[in-house]
Amino acid sequence: MRILLTTERTQAVSTLINLENLRRLDEIDGVTFTAFRQDYENFDVVLFMGYDPRIREAQAANPAAKIGVIDIRPGTLEAARGADFLVSNGPEMSAMAARYFSNIFEYPIFPEARQQTWAPAAEKPVIVTYHGNRAHATSMFPHVTRALEELAQDVPLELHVIYNVRALSPIPKKFLPGRSVRVRTIDWHDRVYERELAQADIGIVPNLTPMHRRREALRSTAPYDDAFGAHPSEYLVRYKATSNAGRILTFAQHGIPVIADMFPSAAQIIRNGENGYLVHDAFSWYQALRTLCEDPQRRREMGQALRATYLEHYSIAALNHRFVAFCRTLPPAREAPAALSDAEALFDSTDPPADPRAGRTAALWRLFLPGVSTS
């Protein structure tokens, strides 16, 4: 099987990470991998980065080739229509793109560490580490930052924040913990995982987009019909369609225990309380952080359990073997039924939500959402 990856954006971050991981397809018997060519007729599988998919061009040159798109962007979904498959970075992207692709393979995007070792600092304080982009770093505010501030009253700790500071600018102080927590911002470099991240005691993966007036939003979006059993204790969350498990798997390679916001990709990998913690609000973040800060043995056991999950299911070698098997058994693509397109609008065109101030519901809102008016 001859596989080609191509794009005009050869230096984009997603391109560089995928290129390094897909190069290892050459390790599989009967597979050769090539990058950044346009002689589509010489390949069995042609992969375009989501930045610039040229589906029709490749299909015209080689109708027999299987054409795929990696890491699609919302703005290029239409351009990718007609491809045989999508390489998605997680269930969030898969769901977003389901109307365009019937064949989807999930391949999380993360860099494979050169040295997969864990070398936490022997002395106090406990090092809590974030790595990723600037947007998810700021989403620590306010639930993670408040939990860290409270914990720092009793437990010596540091927060290390790793991202591309030079390219993306510093994070405003209001989105970081206060003076009780020492914060060290570390600019990304090509050895940052081995030199900095591997020293972490605990890895954190904040992922939820903070919501303004969340309690009011929960009330105002309550279903109009009692048949749904709506209750004010329900979760209301926001996360990006490009959310994925890459940040978790980077920690996993080093055997670093992880605490993550609850989102679909995290729930695929983390077995809550076994190889990590899935949390949501400041209270659950505080409890998970305190448990791991106070118990070094639990940190080691949980980190090794997460690393075992990575090695078995998410190592680059494992992912590449599954990807080749996927390509070899790929069924014909099919169009999604057009009638499904109005499903999301059904509630928007019906009666307004029930007023939670009425009847027995008012007592529930007062109990679960204090501060929201029910009068």
- Could you give the angle at which helices 246-253 and 296-309 cross, rounded to 10 degrees? 110
- Give residue 71's pLDDT: 92
Q: Which of 1-10, 178-187, 275-284, 363-372 has the lowest mean pLDDT?
A: 363-372
pLDDT at 362 over 60: no
Residue 75 sits in the same domain as residue 148: no
Q: What are the angstrom distances between the C-alpha of 90 and each of 21, 104, 375?
A: 16, 10, 43
Residue 207 sits in the same domain as residue 299: yes
Dist. CA 89–CA 245, nearest whole Å: 8
Q: What are the angstrom distances between the C-alpha of 181 and each of 103, 136, 202, 276, 308?
A: 46, 19, 15, 23, 32
**85 found inside a domain:** yes
Residue 89 sits in the same domain as residue 133: no
Please give the average per-residue pLDDT across 275-292, as a whole number.
Answer: 97
Residue 212 sits in the same domain as residue 66: no
**119 found inside a domain:** no
Residue pair 267/273 in contact (Cβ under 8 Å)? The answer is no
Position with higher pLDDT, 218 vs 283: 283
Dist. CA 175–CA 172, nearest whole Å: 6
Residue 144 sits in the same domain as residue 222: yes
Residue 132 sits in the same domain as residue 280: yes
CATH number of the domain that residue 283 is part of: 3.40.50.2000
- Give residue 49's pLDDT: 97
Domain final position from 288, 303, 328: 328
Residue 182 sits in the same domain as residue 95: no
- Could you give the angle at which helices 282-293 and 143-151 cross, rounded to 10 degrees? 40
- Domain residues for the domain of 232 are 126-314
Q: Which of 125-129, 300-304, 324-328, 367-371 has the lowest mean pLDDT?
A: 367-371
Residues in the chain: 375
The alpha carbon of 272 is separated from its chain's Cα centroid by a whole number of angstroms, namely 17
Please give the average per-residue pLDDT across 207-227, as a whole number.
Answer: 79
Residue 21 sits in the same domain as residue 138: no
- pTM (predicted TM-score): 0.87
What percentage of the chain has pLDDT greater than the value 90? Answer: 67
- Helix (H) / strand (E) element for 44: namely none
pLDDT at 58 over 60: yes
- Give residue 213's pLDDT: 84
pLDDT at 218 over 90: no
**162 found inside a domain:** yes
Number of domains forming the structure of the chain: 2
Residue 265 sits in the same domain as residue 239: yes
- Give residue 375's pLDDT: 46
**299 found inside a domain:** yes
Q: Per residue in 90-100, pLDDT tens?
A: 999 999 999 89
Residue 199 sits in the same domain as residue 247: yes
Residue 295 sits in the same domain as residue 157: yes
Residue 310 sits in the same domain as residue 194: yes
Domain final position from 267, 286, 314: 314
Q: Per residue in 62-78, pLDDT tens?
A: 999 999 999 998 888 88
Cα angle 287-171-88, degrees, rounded to a multiple of 5? 75
Position with higher pLDDT, 223 vs 253: 253
- Give residue 153's pLDDT: 93
Please give the average per-residue pLDDT across 146-155, as a whole number.
Answer: 95
